[in-house]
Chains A and B, each alone.
Chain A
Amino acid sequence: EAQVTQNPRYLITVTGKKLTVTCSQNMNHEYMSWYRQDPGLGLRQIYYSMNVEVTDKGDVPEGYKVSRKEKRNFPLILESPSPNQTSLYFCASSLTQGYSGANVLTFGAGSRLTVL
């Protein structure tokens, strides 16, 4: 089944304790992206990657890191989490980033993170 898989789905952690949210897709997609979703603010892009070893900042990159060493994986790293990073996180992928109706984003199930 074609899908984007995120782990963990739920996590409660404490301020300053490094954590990684993994994201993997099995569709051979070039483009991958991380979003956070907060009430009233919609989906905001954190980082994105157009292909292996190519990453770039989105709208809200502060406090996050990413890497794209393999095409299928795009982990999100919080080096020193803070309470304002409490949010619902989504990983998404598409065939490419280009402008085409075929480039529909497929989202993972989401990871709900709470930082105390």
Chain B
Amino acid sequence: GQNIDQPTEMTATEGAIVQINCTYQTSGFNGLFWYQQHAGEAPTFLSYNVLDGLEEKGRFSSFLSRSKGYSYLLLKELQMKDSASYLCAVRNAGNMLTFGGGTRLMVKP
């Protein structure tokens, strides 16, 4: 089976940097996704990693280490609108996608 762990909640200050970690155990690996979900809304795609290293997209970056079963999402210059849940999802060798429980990020002034 698959197991994906991420912290339940995090708090950070507007303008700061926050790192949300995700560790996973999976039967084979075919990519890791990060989604953002505002309360009561649909998840929206943020980033995709399939090779080791850092993918940067504006204020958001995502890092992957396949050997460690580890990823993080880095959010810079935090804004109040970044308050949301961040979902880590892993695709296994059979192309099945499994989501973690999500990390609820609260950005405070």
| Residues of A bordering B, CB below 8 Å | 35, 40-45, 59, 90, 97-99, 101, 104-110
Contacts and interface: CB of A to CB of B under 8 A. Distances in A.
Contact of B91 (A41, A42, A99): A99
- In order of increasing CB-CB distance, the 3 nearest A-B pairs are A107-B42, A99-B30, A42-B101
B96 to A, nearest CB: 8
A interface, over-half SS: loop
B38 to A, nearest CB: 11
B interface, over-half SS: loop
Interface of B: 8, 30-31, 33, 40-45, 48, 50, 87, 89, 91, 95-102
Contacts of A59: 98
Contacts of A40: 8, 101
A107 B91 contact: no
A106 B91 CA distance: 16
Contacts of B41: 109-110
B42 A110 contact: yes
A87 to B, nearest CB: 14
Contact of B99 (A43, A99, A109): A43
A90 to B, nearest CB: 6
Contact of A108 (B33, B42, B45, B102): B42
A52 to B, nearest CB: 19
A40 B44 CA distance: 19
Contact of A90 (B42, B45, B97, B100): B42
A27 to B, nearest CB: 14
Contacts of B96: 45
A106 B44 CA distance: 7
B44 to A, nearest CB: 7
Contacts of B44: 107
9 contacts: A41-B101, A45-B98, A90-B43, A99-B30, A99-B31, A99-B91, A101-B31, A101-B48, A105-B33
Given A90-B42, A105-B97, A107-B44, A43 B87 contact: yes
Contact of B45 (A43, A45, A105): A105
